[in-house]
A = this chain, B = another copy of it.
């Protein structure tokens, strides 16, 4: 039984981690803490009545030594800029760490200043951390101590386009990613634009080519493509709780046959449990994946023009965060990758 600490339990990602870990047969949550100062420990059943009678733990302010003493592995579900302050301590104490923030996703420390607005506190760990897009970094994850769990947008977008970058079929700048996210993607922050009466019956684009998930995607695409890659990325907020749909516009140069396109995805995901690719012309919807760890991918390919339009859906809190984190934990501990997830 893996003893698991959840640090940052008061956000949506932390809550989803608890939900999933409760049904994991080989993991036990032994410690729950919050990033914010808590006046006094709070029963989880009070914090989350839905877990009442199921998890008799208290959520406390973060005390690194206490969490480390109780845990083999620690999930960090903290705000960006906070995880990098505590991860080194957990690693030093011999704990495995899966960080769900962006703090260890980029290899180039300088990018943090530009995209996150802070100087990285532990740049030496950026080389060591393994990017937790399970389907692409499984060997490295098996021996990882520090996993940088991917962002939700990158998960939905990378799973759809990496097979093409790996083949060298995409020209530079040749990807436009128009992504639509449910509102939990913005976190549990008491901010006006996240209020029900502001977000409901509304729709907006934001951070055009300026979202911090953009360098995360281009770093990974460049790595897989073997050359520097740029892309266009526009995220949108849609009025639903969970789920993300990314529409990707790509033109293959030279054009390929439909059979070749289908084969690329079959090669990439034919044996994967959590990525399901539909036949040409059949598109997935968010409801196909909500509260699951699946990424469903559909596309429409036009042989004549070479235009390939991809639609990729995930649950931003599951495959886009907590679910993939548990999938990574399963890999790190040599367990069946689907434990606790289906």
The residues of A with any CB-CB pair to B shorter than 8 Å are: 12, 22-23, 49-50, 52-54, 176, 178, 180, 182-184, 188-192, 194-206, 208-209, 232, 234, 236, 238-243, 245, 247, 249, 273, 276, 283-292, 294, 296, 300, 302, 307, 309, 311, 313, 342
Centre residue among A12, A239, A273, A284 by max chain B CB count within 10 A = A239
Q: Decide if B290 touches A201 in the complex (CB within 8 Å).
A: yes
Q: What 4 A-B pairs come out closest when comparing CB atoms?
A: A204-B285, A49-B288, A178-B178, A196-B199
Centre residue among A178, A206, A242, A283 by max chain B CB count within 10 A = A178
Q: Decide if A203 touches B240 in the complex (CB within 8 Å).
A: yes
Q: How far is the CB of A79 from chain B (nearest CB, A)?
A: 16
In the complex, chain B residues whose CB is within 8 Å of the CB of A49: 276, 284-285, 288, 296
In the complex, chain B residues whose CB is within 8 Å of the CB of A300: 208-209
Residue from the list B209, B247, B273, B276 in contact with A234, Cβ < 8 A: B247
In the complex, chain B residues whose CB is within 8 Å of the CB of A234: 247, 309
Q: Decide if A50 touches B190 in the complex (CB within 8 Å).
A: no
Q: How far is the CB of A297 from chain B (nearest CB, A)?
A: 12
Q: How far is the CB of A56 from chain B (nearest CB, A)?
A: 13
Contact (A195, B196) CB under 8 Å given A53-B273, A288-B50? yes
- Determine the distance from Cα of A191 to Cα of B176 in the docked complex, in whole angstroms: 33
Q: Decide if A283 touches B200 in the complex (CB within 8 Å).
A: no
Q: Decide if A201 touches B241 in the complex (CB within 8 Å).
A: yes
Q: Decide if B203 touches A342 in the complex (CB within 8 Å).
A: no
- Determine the distance from Cα of A93 to Cα of B166 in the docked complex, in whole angstroms: 57
Q: Decide if A209 touches B276 in the complex (CB within 8 Å).
A: no
Q: How far is the CB of A42 from chain B (nearest CB, A)?
A: 14
Q: Decide if A240 touches B204 in the complex (CB within 8 Å).
A: no
- Determine the distance from Cα of A68 to Cα of B236 in the docked complex, in whole angstroms: 43
Q: Decide if B201 touches A243 in the complex (CB within 8 Å).
A: yes
- Determine the distance from Cα of A287 to Cα of B197 in the docked complex, in whole angstroms: 10
Q: Decide if B342 touches A54 in the complex (CB within 8 Å).
A: yes
In the complex, chain B residues whose CB is within 8 Å of the CB of A296: 49, 52
Q: Decide if A286 touches B201 in the complex (CB within 8 Å).
A: yes
30 contacts between A and B (CB under 8 A): A23-B23, A49-B285, A50-B288, A50-B292, A50-B294, A52-B294, A176-B249, A180-B180, A188-B192, A188-B198, A190-B191, A194-B195, A196-B199, A196-B241, A201-B201, A201-B240, A201-B241, A201-B242, A202-B243, A203-B243, A203-B286, A203-B313, A205-B247, A205-B283, A206-B283, A209-B302, A234-B247, A234-B309, A239-B239, A291-B291
